[in-house]
Amino acid sequence: MDRQELQKLRDLPIEGVAERLGLRVVRHKCLCPFHDDHHASLSFRVSKNTFRCFVCGASGGTIDLVMRYLNKDFKAACQWLSTQRGRFFLCTATQREPSPVCGFDASRYSRFFEHPWLNDEARRFLFEERRIDPRVARWCRITSWKDRQGVPWLQTPYYDREGRLIGVQNRNLIKGALPRFRFPQGAVTSIYNLPVLNRLKAGDELYIAEGCSDCWSLLSAGHKAIAIPSATLLTRKDIEQLSIINCQLSISYNMFPDNDVPGERLFLQLREVLPTLVRHQLPPDCKDFSEYYLQTNPSP
Ligand SMILES: [Zn+2]
């Protein structure tokens, strides 16, 4: 590797390299992986592209960080960085684009989720029929309302990774009523439960569900999960977002595909973006994870 090549590796943004290693960087700091840290002692100097832990003294640049974190020698660390580089640039380039929140007036809706409130129909739907853990309902800030005709609706907010409201899904709680779902104008139903990504550590398992309610069941079963809005709606933007996640986090991806053709197709589509996606088979009598969850967690 010539000097110019080495300089390119040294110039890779250090915080990006740290995230690529699975460290979670918040305000130029992260938990130091080199000692038993509980207070984000490691800080990054973006201007110098370096890191330093003020407790254990670990310090250096991009190559040092990789050497120490992955326990590699100089040459192996450089090789690792070069293999990451292509993906890395793709990631940072895509990240810089502002998220399109066109047309959706988040300010009009965000107050609904400040104090989520579940009416009787919503409680029955979530806690009795689906046995969703109340903590999951709170984490997801699910709320409910009734329209002028008295129809009860479950209202589910979609947040981006930074916790900004980007969309709202309304679900009709009257069985068999149509339309089952309604979306405010301009609301994006992108990937659901993105804030959970901020809670992942390197090596964690992430489940990918089809739709919010399977996601709630997975969360209630103790998994970390996100959801694709619908098997038939995997958009270019979702794919882009998943590949960014794949670039940034060293985690494993898991899925229980629905026992039907769209479920299978979604799994295959997702595996193209997430090559390590692990498939878990549902028993033949369960059409989706929610049914499986009910079967394995019978009511007391
Ligand atoms: Zn340290």
Å from CA of 83 to ligand 1 middle: 27
Task: With cut-offs at 50, 70 and 90, classify the pLDDT of residue 92.
Answer: very low
Å from CA of 46 to ligand 1 middle: 18
> Residue 182 forms beta bridges with which residues?
170
Å from CA of 35 to ligand 1 middle: 5
Å from CA of 15 to ligand 1 middle: 16
Q: Express each pLDDT in 16-74 by its tens digit.
A: 888 888 788 888 899 898 988 888 899 999 889 999 999 999 999 999 999 999 888 99
Find, among 131, 177, 172, the residue nearest to 155 by Cα. Answer: 172
Opening angle at CA 286, ends 282 and 292, nearest 5: 75
- Does 142 score more than 80 pLDDT? yes
Å from CA of 205 to ligand 1 middle: 26
At position 16, the amino acid (one-letter code) is G
DSSP, res 141: T
DSSP, res 98: P
Task: With cut-offs at 50, 70 and 90, classify the pLDDT of residue 8.
Answer: confident
Stretch 157-175: mean pLDDT: 89
pTM exceeding the 0.85 threshold for the entire prediction: no
Q: Express each pLDDT in 179-198 by its tens digit.
A: 788 877 766 668 999 999 98
- Does 93 score more than 50 pLDDT? no
The environment of the single-atom ion ligand 1, i.e. residues with CB closer than 5 A, is 32, 34-35, 53, 55-56
**Confidence at residue 201, expressed as pLDDT on a 0 to 100 scale:** 85
Contact 6, 78 (CB under 8 A): yes
Å from CA of 42 to ligand 1 middle: 6
Element (H or E) spanning 46, and its range? Answer: none
Q: Where is pLDDT greater, at 148 or 209?
A: 209
